Amino acid sequence: MSRIAPWHQTNWDWRAAANFIGGGTGTGLVIAGAVAHFLGTDYRLAFALGLVFVATGLFFVWLEIGKPWRAVNVLRQPQMSWMTREAIVAPFLFATGLGALWTGGGVLAWITPGVAAVFLYCQGQILRASKGIPAWRSPGVVELIIMTGLSEGAGLTLVLVAFAGFEANLTWLQGLLLALVAGRGLAWYAYRGRLDRDGAPARTFAALRAIEVPLAVFGLWGPILLLLVAFGVSSNGEWIAALAGICALAAGWLLKFTLITRAAYNQGFALPWLPVRGAGKSGPGAKPGWR
């Protein structure tokens, strides 16, 4: 029996999800580190950890490709492919990031977050260009990927403040995370609204529905509440903010893991009209598995 209704794509698995998780969190951390630097603190821990995240993600995706020893061919089509563009930006990110770590300041510390933002944008566009997966090609996916990456980075920065002695202006970083999780919430609801209007496989909606409550609790309202409490208390505010950061980080990872793996049902097949046979008439079309 042939498959008609959309089925789960099998070409990209958790390793691809790890690239989006590592890339988003890593670039978000570099950008948040740059914000902390702007406020007068040392950015090196955030940059170093951010680069490790990005490198880990790229390593996992390298493990996934069929011909890893030909991986350099990924660079051959910058004129069209967002995957090529991501691969071209990556060495610049590492070069400027490592340079910024080496010099401990200067212009590279300001160039690196810009390059990180371009890398994050490429990741969003990689999904957007995947026309075969309705959950990925939806226009709002780019904003969603960018906002969750930034939220994860800001969240992890607050964790570093509490646990790793990363000295930063806590109030500003808390405010940044507050704005970013609110922005991510808006991006999520905009994405879902667009998907509802455009239609997608029913099982994609089921997969996304399964994370709606955890996302709302841990990705939006939980961090907002915790951050407001952190603003109000006179002591231990960094621990409460770190908890908000962990929530924002975990929700982002859950979102991307679900989007890349569980919600990734393909287009399936559809017929606008059924054929006329003999003296019969055409029947209504069929698009199995969609809503």
Would you give the binding string for another protein spanning residues 249-288, x where CB under 8 A is met?
---------------x-xxxxxxxxxxxx----xxx-x-x
Q: How far apart are CA 278 and CA 9, in angstroms?
A: 38
Note whether 171 binds another protein by CB under 8 A.
no
Given 130, 151, 174, 204, the residue binding another protein (CB under 8 A)? 130
Min dist. Cβ of residue 199 to another protein (A): 11
Contact between 151 and another protein per CB under 8 A = no
Rounded to the nearest 10 degrees, what angle do helices 141-163 and 108-128 cross at?
140
Q: Is residue 74 a contact point for another protein (CB under 8 A)?
A: yes
Measured from the CB atom, the residue of 129 and 233 that comes closer to another protein is 129
Q: Does 59 bind another protein (CB under 8 A)?
A: no
Q: Is 76 in the site for another protein (CB under 8 A)?
A: yes
Q: Which is closer to another protein, CB of 218 or CB of 265?
A: 265
| CA–CA gap between residue 132 and residue 96 (Å, rounded) | 35
Q: Does 138 bind another protein (CB under 8 A)?
A: no
Among 52, 63, 73, 164, binds another protein (CB under 8 A): 73
Structure tokens at 241: 């903010």
* Residue whose CB is less far from another protein, 86 or 238: 86
Q: Nearer to another protein by C-beta: 7 or 163?
A: 7
Round to whole Å and give the CA distance between 151 and 252.
8
- Interface residue with another protein, options 46, 83, 141, 161 (CB under 8 A): 83
**Crossing angle between the packed helical segments 14-38 and 82-103, to the nearest 10 degrees:** 40
Nearer to another protein, 137 or 225 (CB): 137
Closest distance between another protein and the C-beta of residue 89, in Å? 13
* Tokens representing residue 282 in the block: 């055409």
Say how far apart CA 156 and CA 168 lie, in whole Å.
13
Of 89 and 226, nearer to another protein (C-beta) is 89
Amino acid at 99: G
Question: Does 197 contact another protein by CB under 8 A?
Answer: no
Residue 234, CA atoms < 13 Å, CB-side half-sphere: 0
169 binds another protein (CB under 8 A): no
Q: Which is nearer to another protein, 20 or 166 (CB)?
A: 20
Q: What is the token pair recorded at 288?
A: 């199995």
Binding flag, residue 98, another protein (CB under 8 A): no
Total binding residues for another protein by CB under 8 A?
49
Q: Minimum CB separation from another protein for residue 83, in Å?
A: 4
82 binds another protein (CB under 8 A): yes
Contact set with another protein (CB under 8 A):
1-2, 4, 9, 11-12, 64-68, 70-71, 73-77, 80-84, 87, 126, 129-133, 136, 264, 266-277, 282-284, 286, 288
